[in-house]
Structure 1
Amino acid sequence: MSEAKMKEAAKEKLKESSDPLEKLRNFCLSEGYCGLLRLGKVFRVMDKDRSWTLSKEELSNGVAKFGLDFSEADINKLFSAFEKDGQSGINYEEFLEALRPSMNEPRKKAVEAVFKHLDKTGDGIVSVEDLKGVYSAKKHPKVVKGEATEEELLKKFLNMFESNSSMDGKVTKQEFLDYYSSLSKNLDDDEYFVSVVNMSWGL
């Protein structure tokens, strides 16, 4: 299944979904491989005090900003499913984890191995500097012609794993997993998925 077909299938499921978590998951998938990334960015921007939690009001505002019109009952159901002690709000990383299409252990290990390979500094972020240690774009036609710098091309490459609302040329492990979890949904065979991931990165 291509990304376009996945988006169409998710749009159809969205019409049939009654559970708010399922609605949100299908809405993310209907946005393509980067849908979940975009929602994660929305939540992280709202988390101004870096507490990794969202209040019910912040959750409601975040979902609305993402483009979904949820009823108060939908928000209450979502919030109560993840809120633990009645006062601290919900941990949105756990929330995003629940939304993410599941990858089994072999697939997740393959993606994590690639990220570790790319993260040369071991700081949990893949940057342009990390990529320079793995790839060289010096012979790219645009670089040779002086139309672009190597750094610009590598940053553009990293942008593929980020949401359109926040492209800083830095990809976290979570963003990397979010991207591949959507891709994983389109590939039924584990061995094929792992080979696609490894071949894409020359492993």
Structure 2
Amino acid sequence: MNSKSIYRVLLCFFHSEFCLLSSVNNHHLLLLASVMAGTSRHDKEMAMDAKRRLSECSDPVERLRLQCLARGSSGIKGLGRTFKIMDDDNSRSLDLKEFLKGLNDYGILMEKQEAMALFQQFDRDGSGTIDFDEFLITLRVTKEEFVNYYCGVSASVDSDVYFILMMKNAWKL
């Protein structure tokens, strides 16, 4: 990776951290791995890596993230959209029953015990429900995943001007 790519990625990362914090407060879903459409090759590599790591992983939250990433760059974003669909009683939060049904409807393969442990990890305030903020914060992509994603995007763009235009459009700057 050249210094230009590193610079581009760092700019995106610092801006995205600001956007993520803003989005939590405004109840908007901004999941960094799915902000822009990835190149198909990069998407396939990410999905293959997620599937490989899934067999080695035991943490319920990480397993959920990996199952979403195995669907490609829009996997986590899709699960975020599914949050509203899971919320059967329109309470803007999920109880255990809604959560288990939603995981099943979204096609997340998980034992009931593992799903219950996952629910407890999402329920940071111990209220017995998961609100959207808890859901969003728990599913954040890691810094490494973010950097890897934008390195792939940056490598596929020849012009700095075009890359800046893409970032402005993606982040609505």
What range describes the TM-score normalised by the shorter chain of this pair? Answer: 0.5 to 0.7
**Which residue pairs with 1:6 in the alignment?**
46
- Structure with larger Rg: 1
Give the Å deviation of 1:92: 3.4
Q: C-alpha deviations, 1:51-106, integer Å up to 9, x for none?
A: 221011111111111112211221221121232555451113421332121459xx
2:150 to 187, 193, 196: 187
Give the Å deviation of 1:29: 0.8
Q: TM-score, normalized by length of structure 1?
A: 0.51
Task: Name the one with the larger helix percent.
Answer: 2
Give the Å deviation of 1:33: 1.3
Percent identity of the aligned residues? 31
Matched letter for residue 91 of structure 1: D
Structure 2 counterparts to residues 133-144 of structure 1, below 5 A? none
Give the Å deviation of 1:34: 0.9
Supply the RMSD in Å over aligned alpha carbons: 3.1
Take 2:84 and 2:143, find their aligned partners in 1: how far apart are those partners?
23
Matched letter for residue 149 of structure 2: N
Q: C-alpha deviations, 1:107-163, integer Å up to 9, x for none?
A: xxxxxxxxxxxxxxxxxxxxxxxxxxxxxxxxxxxxxxxxxxxxxxxxxxxxxxxxx
Take 1:48 and 1:64, find their aligned partners in 2: how far apart are those partners?
14
Tell which has more relative contact order, 1 or 2 (C-alpha 8 A, sep 6+).
2
The question of whether the paired residues in 2 share the 8 Å contact of 1:55 and 1:89 is answered with yes
> Unpaired segments of 5 or more residues in structure 1?
105-181
Structure 2 counterparts to residues 67-106 of structure 1, below 5 A? 67-84=107-124, 86-102=126-142
Matched letter for residue 76 of structure 1: M
Structure 2 counterparts to residues 11-90 of structure 1, below 5 A? 11-84=51-124, 86-90=126-130
Matched letter for residue 42 of structure 1: T
Give the Å deviation of 1:35: 0.5
Structure 2 counterparts to residues 171-182 of structure 1, below 5 A? none
Greater than 6 Å deviation, 4+ residue runs: none
* Number of equivalent positions: 124
The question of whether the paired residues in 2 share the 8 Å contact of 1:52 and 1:93 is answered with no
